[in-house]
Amino acid sequence: MTGGGGFIGSHVAEYYAKLGNEVVVFDNLSRGGVLGAQGALHNWNYLQSLSLDICFVKGDVRRFEEVKNAARDVDVIVHAAAQVAVTTSLKDPRLDFEVNALGTFNVLEAARLCDAAVIYCSTNKVYGENVNKIPVRDTGKRYEFADPKYAWGIPEDFPVDLCGHSPYGCSKLSGDIYVQEYGKTYGLKTGVFRMSCIYGERQFGTEEQGWVSWFTISCLKGQPITIYGDGKQVRDVLYVGDLVKAYDAFIRRKVESDVFNIGGGIENTISLLELLKILEEMTGVRATISFSNWRMADQKVYISDISKAKEKLNWKPETPLLQGIKKLINWVESNIHIL
């Protein structure tokens, strides 16, 4: 489990350890620069407190020997380690490339040596600005796709070419394609999951990444929130526990290498303004917001078409949107001292 000290990685590690599996958590804890020492170590310490069969390895995906040694004799590698912010990729594209592209290559080479299956945490950003070429309509508090062809969201064969992506989108797309190629060329079982917005407990959201968590934290701490654009941007959001079950469905079923768009789907969409309204209703706190210019490569609407995951994995989101947000609020309230 690369990035096992992170948000998604810690949930994957906990899930499989509780099922009785031996889990290797591999992380360099670099998120300390973003979250501060307490935040960076919280998930790592949380996993250690569970007293389960988890081996903790502090290492860096950019260093192949460290990855190879940690992956020895494993059956599955869930590759969640990444540079996760578009803004950071713009400031330091070399770091972004080395972590996301080279790091993924190292994971694949390690997997090839031990014949392990690979799950790759990809992103909707691989589709780049092509998503913004789809006409949208303004319905007041949100945008929605105006083209009926995308009534169920963006499918896996949506084009990735001839558009801007941001360095982050490029580095993740590079890893995405490499994972697919290792499945075809070397016969590894590889699952590429192009994720929309994932949220839930233990997500230390920031302004750059993890907006559902960031809005929740800011609201409860009384911190101002800056909305880039007009706040009508829409995403499909997926509770992290449901994401982990999608990974598990892929591992357990007789599905060879494939690509899945994964998110809450059309049933779990929300705009920025709508989330702020829900948070106010659930917490009694009205957030202080201001507006600024649109950010590079931001998509007005992104909704995952999850039909393929439903069909091939017999999976669907189980956690209703309001229930998931309430779980996140409860976690933030219980951990406000480290946020």
CATH number at residue 60: 3.40.50.720
Rounded Cα distance between 173 and 122, Å, is 8
Residue 2 in any domain: the answer is no
pLDDT value of position 34? 46
Report yes or no: 263 and 304 within 8 Å, Cβ to Cβ. yes
Q: Is 141 exposed, middle or buried (0-12, 13-18, 19+ CB in 10 A)?
A: middle
Nearest by Cα to 122 from 75, 154, 163: 154
Does 73 map to a domain? Answer: yes
Mean pLDDT (the chain, rounded)? 95
Q: What are phi and psi of 77, to 5 degrees?
A: -115, 120
Q: How many domains does the chain have?
A: 1
Which residue in the list 16, 120, 168, 182 is annotated as catalytic?
168
Query: Residue 313 pLDDT more than 70?
Result: yes
Give, in degrees to the nearest 5, the angle at Cα 263 between 169 and 329.
105
pLDDT: which is higher, 99 or 205: 99
1 within some domain: no
- Residue 274, domain member (yes or no): yes
Containing domain of residue 56, as a range? 7-334
Residue type, 328: L
pLDDT number for residue 136: 97
Cβ neighbors of 149 (< 8 A, separation 6 or more) are: none
Q: pLDDT per residue over 23-59, tens digit each? A: 999 999 876 544 444 555 889 999 999 999 999 999 9
Q: What is the mean pLDDT of residues 195-213?
A: 94
| Position 307 in a domain | yes
pLDDT, average across residues 283-304: 93
> Is 150 within the bounds of a domain?
yes
- Helix, strand, or coil here: 101? helix
Within-domain flag for 286: yes
Region 228-257: mean pLDDT is 96
Average the pLDDT over 317-333 and give the result.
98
Catalytic residue check, 168? yes
What is the percent of the chain where pLDDT is above 70? Answer: 97
pLDDT at 100 over 70: yes
Say what the pLDDT of residue 41 is. 84
Determine, yes or no, domain membership for 339: no
pLDDT at residue 36 in the model:
45
Helix (H, G, I), strand (E, B) or coil at 151: coil
Answer whether residue 317 shows pLDDT above 50: yes
Cβ(287)–Cβ(214) under 8 Å? no
pLDDT of residue 17: 98
Compute the average pLDDT of residues 311-339.
96
